[in-house]
Amino acid sequence: MAKESILITGACGQIGSELALSLRQKYGNAAVVVSDVRAPQGELAEGPFEKLDVNSEKDFERLYEQYKFTQIYHLAALLSASGEKNPLFTWQLNMNSLLYVLELARQHNIKIYWPSSIAVFGPETPANHTPQHTVITPRTAYGISKLSGEHWCKYYHERYGVDVRSIRYPGLISYKTPAGGGTTDYAVDIYYKAIEEGQYECFLSQDTYLPMMYMPDAIRATLELMEATSERVKNRWAYNLAGLSFCPTQVAAEIQKVIPDFTVTYKPDFRQKIADTWPNSIDDHDAQTDWGWKLEYDLPKMTEDMIKNLRTKLKNKVS
């Protein structure tokens, strides 16, 4: 295996904190530089860390000179719900940083992973089994930045041969690092509240279906896409990934199988409007045929794993 030098931006976030550990397992701790605006904690701190402001092109160049990266996983971004609080800043942060990364990749032949999202879709998009290629009309600043980013990735690939790969992640569910600032975050919060308080007030309505995925599947998908041979990666915008499709009452019912007294009330807030513009479920036929993607966790299997691991984590926190 060729020697890799890997940078992860936004590495302390929900995806980064788990992806970094998987990459370190594969390539060794020293080969994976985690970067963020805050310092890493726990296991994540056992390896190189660099404070990085992704809004600074100079910072990227300085780090490149130091580490000569061969791969960058550019995860830093503002998500859908927090993005709506400051749309212009969301655009600047999400877009400028991607362009800095793509430019660095063009100049130094770096392989890039950049996440897109179901937020690229809009109310005009077919809501069920949303196809890979369809009407794409985002309504959030985050979604607009992800759609534009997909086009820039494709552009850098076609024009300059940059090896850039991307997935449109559904809402991601994990017991390790909490989600932050997304519309799909309820599907993480609900598990914490079920264990800690036995009740949850949901910010989406009970019948709001959204595409979701358990983090181990999302991490595996990311690594599998990055490891696929170039010829198999036929899509250089971003791949649809289906994952699961459920609404709050369904996840609540699944939790109640383990915690029978758990109750949920519903008080939709501004995030409902965002969720209403997103698909219910996704078609990921292309990911399956191009690079062999296959989902492992369904809702019952994920729920069982989430509750088991969260109980241990929360018990250790108080004792």
Interaction site with ligand SER (CB under 6 A): 79-80, 117-119, 142, 169, 171, 182-184
Nearer to ligand SER, 84 or 162 (CB): 84
Distance CA 101, CA 113 (A): 10
Shortest reach from residue 148's CB to ligand SER, in Å? 15
- Continuous segment of H or E residues that includes residue 165: strand 164-165
Shortest reach from residue 144's CB to ligand SER, in Å? 13
DSSP structure class, residue 39: -
Shortest reach from residue 290's CB to ligand SER, in Å? 21
Nearest residue to ligand SER, by Cβ distance, number only: 182
- Continuous segment of H or E residues that includes residue 188: helix 186-196
- Continuous segment of H or E residues that includes residue 273: helix 270-275
Shortest reach from residue 182's CB to ligand SER, in Å? 3
Query: Of 195, 163, 152, 138, which is closest to residue 313 (Cα–Cα)?
Result: 195
Give the number of other CB atoms < 10 A from CB of residue 181.
18
Nearer to ligand SER, 79 or 98 (CB): 79
Query: Of 263, 232, 256, which is closest to residue 307 (Cα–Cα)?
Result: 256
DSSP structure class, residue 282: B
Radius of gyration, CA atoms only, the chain: 19
Nearer to ligand SER, 5 or 174 (CB): 174
Contact 274, 80 (CB under 8 A): yes
Shortest reach from residue 274's CB to ligand SER, in Å? 8
Nearer to ligand SER, 119 or 221 (CB): 119
Give the number of other CB atoms < 10 A from CB of residue 230.
10
Nearer to ligand SER, 71 or 184 (CB): 184
Nearer to ligand SER, 11 or 119 (CB): 119
Query: Of 162, 5, 141, which is closest to residue 86 (Cα–Cα)?
Result: 141
Residue 199 backbone class (left: φ over 0; alpha: ψ -120 to 50; beta: rest): beta
CA 55 from centroid of its chain's CA atoms: 20
Q: Please give the backbone phi and psi of residue 196, each rounded to the nearest 5 degrees, phi first.
A: -80, -35
34, β-bridge pairs: 8, 49
Q: Is 147 helix (H, G, I), strand (E, B) or coil?
A: helix
- Continuous segment of H or E residues that includes residue 36: strand 32-36
Shortest reach from residue 183's CB to ligand SER, in Å? 4
Shortest reach from residue 238's CB to ligand SER, in Å? 11
Nearer to ligand SER, 47 or 149 (CB): 149
Active site members: 142
